[in-house]
Amino acid sequence: MQVYDWQAIVKDHGPAVWQTAYRLLGNRSDTADCFQETFLGALEISRAQSVRSMSGLLVRLATTRAIDKLRQRCRREKYQGIRQEASLAGQDEGDPSQHAETEELTLRLRVAIGQLPAQEAKAFCLRYFNEMSYREVARELEITTGTAGVLLHRAKTRLRATLEDERAEIDEVSP
């Protein structure tokens, strides 16, 4: 009989869950909420059904919760609110202009992910942030590999278009 030691699970998978949420949210407060909701959700799921891969479940739950929070934040605060929260992270880098450019880029990517359809956003994050294969993405989202490929293609196309448009607007504004 399989036994779950949640103290060990938090210790082993906590950093991965934290980084998964922090990549998408970019601030500690929302990441802490997402971290807590992820493990509590995993506890409920493990009580209801058998878990094939605890690490996969935790990453999927963290990605889902983080995307939900990101979408809620996008709707609530628009672009300006996210900019203010996210700009507080990573201030100890060397070049201020490089730091500002990196901050701008990450913020624009997060906003663009928050505006994607939920399933496309999940597939994109699992594939490119958590470095899962197409098959693993399909298994975690309970879809076929072909559908996962279609979702990833659409997500990349939308994100590229969004980033390109925003870069063009910035280039037009700046001298």
Contact in structure between 24 and 110 (CB atoms under 8 Å) = yes
Lay out the site mask for another protein across 45-84 (x = CB under 8 A, - = otherwise): -xxxxxx---------------------------------
Q: Which range of residues in 58-66, 75-83, 132-140, 156-164 is near another protein by CB under 8 A?
A: 156-164
Q: Is 174 in the site for another protein (CB under 8 A)?
A: no
Nearer to another protein, 69 or 110 (CB): 110
Q: Is 108 in the site for another protein (CB under 8 A)?
A: yes
C-alpha span between 22 and 15 (Å, rounded): 10
Q: Is 150 in the site for another protein (CB under 8 A)?
A: no
C-alpha span between 45 and 165 (Å, rounded): 41
Contact in structure between 137 and 123 (CB atoms under 8 Å) = yes
Contact in structure between 121 and 113 (CB atoms under 8 Å) = yes
Nearer to another protein, 5 or 80 (CB): 5
